[in-house]
Amino acid sequence: MHHNIILRFAMGLTALLIVLSLGFAWGVRGREQRFAAREPVHESVYTETQAAAAYRERCAGCHPRHEPAAWAARQPAPAREASVLSLLQQHGKASEAENRLIARYLAQQASGS
Amino acid sequence: MRNAAWPMPLDGNDTMGTVFAGTVWFTVYVIGLLLPLTIALLCDPIDVVRPFLLELGVALGFLAYPLMTSEFMLVGRIRSVSVLYGNDVLMYFHKYMGLVVLLFVAVHPLLASHGDFAQFNPFSSAASPRHGAWSFWLLLALTLTSRFRRQIGLGYGAWMVIHIVLAVAICALALVHVLGVAGYSSSSVVRTVMIGYFIGFLIPMFRYRVWSYYQMASRRWQVIENRDEGARVRTLVVKPIGHPGFDFHPGQFAWIATGHPVTSEQHPISISSSAELGSDRRIEFSIASLGDWSGRRVPQAAVGSSVYVNGPFGAMSTDREPGQGFVLIAGGIGITPLRSMMLTIKDRGDPRPVVLFYAAATLNDLVFRQELEALQRQIDLKLVLVLSHPPGDWTGERGHIDRALLKRYLPKQAMRFQYFICGPGRMLDAMEEDLVALGIPRSRVHSERFDVV
């Protein structure tokens, strides 16, 4: 009885924490407008150095370069960059312009160029 | 003789204060759990909309970290918390919330990485997931060694060392993981808070593992008697040397080491003597022979030798629960804290009635039997002895303490009594259930368990 009460209590607290996590995930969805005015990185200024820097800043903390490059290499070549871009857009740590830079960078790495 | 700064019997206002303090402590705990997530939400350095599941995974990570760093607070022998909830309540809560940490830590990378199990690879070449993966696997090892300690033959002392080393490693790796992910932790405020939680984890660890051991080692107690009580139970009578010892409430326990506290195992043992201390401030611990320490070291503790005592702890006490009388239910060595309660009632001249149900296997297993029979003439005590294997001429109760037996002996004003149970875990479960079935309010039934791990 004693420990059953504690177990129920712990389960109640866990449920509360999960609900608050859901609330958090819902709450941060409103940041799109907040960063709309952020200075974009233009695709036209693509350089490998800049793209590699964007990769290091946004991705390398969790994914060593060979992992997504290997994944990109498995995508059909004509749509490779688009596939990588789509994945990055779903993952979403970088801005849209940075995603495009990184997608092209990884696609080029996968193609060996 | 009593130092005003030491505990006194609690009255009704104290009980309300205890409830209030308990609520405050729990509120602080919950706020502490939510603070990193709240700060992450307020600082939010991320500049794009990310998938809902990814954010949910991140949120679970931000909850798992304060949960794991606060785990030690629950079992860090913090006396002010132990007195409010009871050590067994804190231990069980620690155990259950540990499982919640494991759940959150397991789900966190899967949600944050679209179900990529490579996140659990402890040899990943990316630093941040590698630290996270190690934290997860060590947490799993910690959970399994705790859950199956007895099955894998791990001694309590060795398990404790492993548990603490793993806990520190898990929290340190989790911190490095959090700081390495360039997400919310790219905010300096978030990073500072996360580092603060790790320091907050280390402080009670230091207090428990270093400072309290130092204090314990510097406050020596001397064995002045090592008495054989029969039934493979010995009573160590100890007195403080060069310090005043401590006051306690009847029913509380202390950690005791028969060697130096840094190098010797410490065991939680109920104090079996009266809380009304004599001039030499001696206290008694009655210890059943159950293992290597209690079976070999305790009998060898010679008169004049040193022991080290850290206490008092625990919330189960007649002082804490005002009632018109007390029903005490003991199984085997569970009699020891209840003996302390009865001796204290005698020494205080407390006129309130006591009913003691005491169960054992044989007549020889009844510890303190003669003393208890003598106590019937000194306090208002009804003694109900129950033997499962009684001798032929036994005139007491036979079998086990059950609902029918309780009903037969409970006084008319039973609803206004307080109930204290001490014994094996299964007995505690059965008695708690029986008493509630007999209409005793759950809030009047008290017990404390020592077999959590």
Strand B445-447 versus strand B418-422 pairing type:
parallel
Here the tokens at position A13 are 């607290």
Residue A109 and residue A72 in contact, taking contact as beta carbons nearer than 8 Å: yes
Which residue matches tokens 């009684």?
A: B390
- The pLDDT mean for chain B works out to 89
Q: By three-state DSSP, how is residue B392 classified?
A: coil
Which residue matches tokens 């804290």?
A: B337
Higher pLDDT, B326 or B50: B326
Which residues, at least 6 apart from B180, have a Cβ–Cβ distance to it below 8 Å? A61, B127, B128, B131
Residue B216 and residue B308 in contact, taking contact as beta carbons nearer than 8 Å: yes
Identify any residues that bridge with B237 across adjacent strands, giving them in sequence order.
Answer: B225, B284
Task: List the single residue in B100, B124, B433 with the smallest CB-CB distance to A14.
Answer: B100
> Which residue in chain B is spatially nearest to A63 when comparing CA positions?
B126
Contact B41 A24 (CB under 8 A): yes
Give the pLDDT band (50/70/90) at residue B360.
very high
Contact B127 A61 (CB under 8 A): yes
CA dihedral B185, B187, B188, B189 (to 10 degrees): -90
Give the pLDDT band (50/70/90) at residue B80.
confident
Q: How far is A62 from chain B (nearest CA, A)?
A: 5
Report the pLDDT value the prediction gives residue B9, as an integer from 0 to 100: 47
ipTM of the prediction greater than 0.85, yes or no: no
pLDDT string in tens for chain A (113-residue length): 567 888 999 999 999 999 999 999 988 876 665 555 455 555 556 788 888 888 888 787 777 777 788 878 877 777 788 888 877 876 766 777 888 888 888 888 877 64
Contact B88 A32 (CB under 8 A): no
Q: How many CB atoms lie within 10 A of CB B243?
A: 11
Tens digits of residue pLDDT in B247-280: 999 999 999 999 888 778 888 899 999 999 989 9
For the entire predicted model, the pTM comes to: 0.73
A residues 53-92 closer than 8 Å to B (CB): 57-58, 60-64, 66-67, 90-92
Nearest to B343 by CA among B435, B278, B423: B278
In whole angstroms, give the CA distance from residue B451 to residue B73: 20
Contact A21 B183 (CB under 8 A): no
Which residue matches tokens 């106590």?
A: B375
Report the pLDDT value the prediction gives residue A92, as an integer from 0 to 100: 64
Contact A61 B34 (CB under 8 A): no
Higher pLDDT, B66 or B18: B66
Report the pLDDT value the prediction gives residue A93, as an integer from 0 to 100: 65
Report the pLDDT value the prediction gives residue A2, as an integer from 0 to 100: 67
Report the pLDDT value the prediction gives residue B6, as an integer from 0 to 100: 34
Tens digits of residue pLDDT in B8-35: 444 455 566 777 888 888 999 999 999 9
Residue B447 phi, psi (nearest 5): -155, 165
Which residue matches tokens 């040397």?
A: B241
Choosing among B49, B52, B123, B184, which should be mutated to test the A contact, i.e. which has the most A CBs within 10 A?
Answer: B49
Give the pLDDT band (50/70/90) at residue B244.
very high
Q: C-alpha angle with apex B209: B207 to B212, nearest 5 degrees?
A: 55
Report the pLDDT value the prediction gives residue A35, as an integer from 0 to 100: 54
Report the pLDDT value the prediction gives residue A42, as an integer from 0 to 100: 54
Say yes or no: A44 contacts chain B, CB-CB below 8 A.
no
Higher pLDDT, A58 or B244: B244
Which residues, at least 6 apart from B21, have a Cβ–Cβ distance to it below 8 Å? B80, B84
Tens digits of residue pLDDT in B381-401: 999 999 999 998 999 999 999
Higher pLDDT, B329 or A103: B329
Q: C-alpha angle with apex B190: B188 to B191, nearest 5 degrees?
A: 60
Higher pLDDT, B452 or B355: B355
Tens digits of residue pLDDT in B275-316: 999 899 999 999 998 877 888 889 999 999 999 999 898 888
Contact B93 A26 (CB under 8 A): no
Which residues, at least 6 apart from B108, have a Cβ–Cβ distance to it below 8 Å? B57, B58, B60, B61, B64
Tens digits of residue pLDDT in B404-451: 999 999 988 899 999 999 998 889 989 999 999 999 998 899 987 766
Report the pLDDT value the prediction gives residue B208, as an integer from 0 to 100: 75
Q: C-alpha angle with apex B233: B232 to B236, nearest 5 degrees?
A: 140
